Amino acid sequence: MTTIKSITAIEILDSRGNPTVGCTVTLDDNTQATAYVPSGASTGQHEAYELRDEEDDRYFGKGVRNAVANVNQVINEALINTDWETLWEFDKALIGLDGTNNKSLLGSNAILSVSLAAAKAFAQSSGSIALWDYLAKDGGTSPTLPVPMLNILNGGRHASNSTDIQEFMIIPVGFDSFSQSLRAGVEIYHSLKSILGSLGHNLNVGDEGGFAPQLGSNEEALELIMQAIELSGYEAGTEIMLALDVAASELYNSESGLYVLERQGLSVNSHDLIGLYKDWVDKFPIISIEDGLNEDDWDGWVELQNRLGNKVQLVGDDLLVTNINRVQTANDLEACNSILLKPNQIGSMSETLQALTLARGNGWTTVMSHRSGETEDSTIADLAVGWAAGQIKTGAPARSDRVAKYNRLLQIEHELGDDAMFDGMKVFSDFG
């Protein structure tokens, strides 16, 4: 049995300087753990409700004092001084305290802060060396280091005046360990910086640490990344694969029903946009496309899966929002083959695990993910390893809010020693 002595929250800042919730859970054995909640910029309309104060004279309406108060008063008063047999029993009670479908009563940011902090505290109190160890033992999984998806060139909502596509990523797959894979990604990142500098581009970075040059087209971004891979001495298509996060909901014009790619000079329907992706997949070693279509364009997603699903990992982010109901719908329709897991999209540890379990049961790949507004909290690294997600998406190897996750994974790899597992290209064995 585990008893919680106190649950306290404060208002802190994320990587964009916007308020978010930090929570500390203290157990009766004086074990104490803290967690911070991230926030997204390009958010799906079906995500759980992030409670903001909407006071125009304070943080431009983005304050989270109400969410903090819900932790300190409602949640703390209801859930302390009770014996909990498991973390999941506590998490169920936490979710039930809100009682809404989208956590609009207490706020997903309030609930998640408690859920994450409690998970870390339960792990410490159990005698596990870390959260990843606790989760692996609880679920009977083999802890596995994830393949990193490094966002090295930013566009869309994450970097103004860059590209239509929100994220251009590299996936170092042809390596025997996480540390070797990360090293390759870092070297390519720096090679891209060198190339961009030599061409006279600015070297500013976007929210997730990727470079944000003003380019003439989305294809130019892919070509520059291919040059960076070559300059670094790696082989594209075997050691290094490419990935896109299109964030197509941000490109969709609901009035015209068309996707507008301004840098590309195109306004196209779903069928033609899929054709553009096919051309890119044929030309470049792209193994993953995230949110290739609008979040409610189910017919388009089905066509996308039919045309590219045997070649490419088609990741649902805004489409699925880590929600088992939408995962089930997508599986029934055969609309995608992979899920992006963002705990703050659904608002709790247990619901994130449910979505992962259902997706894995469907034969899908799974990707643990950060948000564009992050903190130094590195909990998702432990989730990726303990739940053996296979992949992690946590930005460029730049900005401390991103590097914190990579450094945590390096530490976990060290803790595992000879038992450290890394699947590399095996993660994508169903594609190509």
User: Would you please indicate which residues are annotated as catalytic (active-site) residues?
Assistant: 208, 342
Cα gap 155→163, rounded to integer Å = 4
What is the H or E stretch that residue 245 is in? Answer: strand 240-245
- The encoded tokens of residue 105 equal 């009563």
Burial class (CB in 10 A: 0-12, 13-18, 19+), 103: buried
d(CA 132, CA 38): 19
Report the alpha-carbon distance of residue 397 to residue 399 in Å, rounded.
7
CA distance 2 to 121: 10
Give me the half-sphere count of Cα atoms (radius 13 Å) on the Cβ side of residue 246: 26
Alpha carbons within 13 A on the beta-carbon side of 406: 22
Torsion of CA 156, 160, 164, 170, to 10 degrees: -70
| Cα gap 77→74, rounded to integer Å | 5
Rounded Cα–Cα distance for residues 101 and 198 (Å): 52
For residue 6, the cross-strand partners are 26
Tokens of 279: 């051309």
